[in-house]
Amino acid sequence: GQSLEQPSEVTAVEGAIVQINCTYQTSGFYGLSWYQQHDGGAPTFLSYNGLDGLEETGRFSSFLSRSDSYGYLLLQELQMKDSASYFCAVRDQSGGYQKVTFGTGTKLQVIP
């Protein structure tokens, strides 16, 4: 089977930089996605890494190292509205790369 590990909670100061890590164990691997979910809301797609390296989208970046089975989401210039839960997700060989597995999520609290 597959498993993903993320820290359950992270606290950071407004204006700072925070990194949310995700390690995975899968049978085969296709790519790593990141989603944001505010309390009471639906998950929204943030970023995807299919290859090793850094993907940048505005204040958010995501990194993948396939050899280390590890990725992270980097949030820069934190704003209060970034307080939310962040989920990593993978597709792997089980289900023919069509089945998606999410991590349990990291709750980010941004404080003034």
Partner 1 sequence: EAQVTQNPRYLITVTGKKLTVTCSQNMNHEYMSWYRQDPGLGLRQIYYSMNVEVTDKGDVPEGYKVSRKEKRNFPLILESPSPNQTSLYFCASSDRDRGGIDTQYFGPGTRLTVL
Site residues for partner 1, 51-80, by CB under 8 A, read none
List all residues 6 or more positions away from 31 whose beta carbon is below 8 Å from its beta carbon: 48, 49, 50, 64, 90, 91
Largest CA distance in the chain: 45
Q: Does 105 bind partner 1 (CB under 8 A)?
A: yes
Numbers of helices and strands, H then E, in the chain: 0, 11
Site mask for partner 1 (CB under 8 A), range 1-40, x = bound: -----------------------------xx-x-x-----
Contacts with partner 1, residue ranges (CB under 8 A): 30-31, 33, 35, 41-45, 48, 50, 87, 89, 91, 95, 98-105
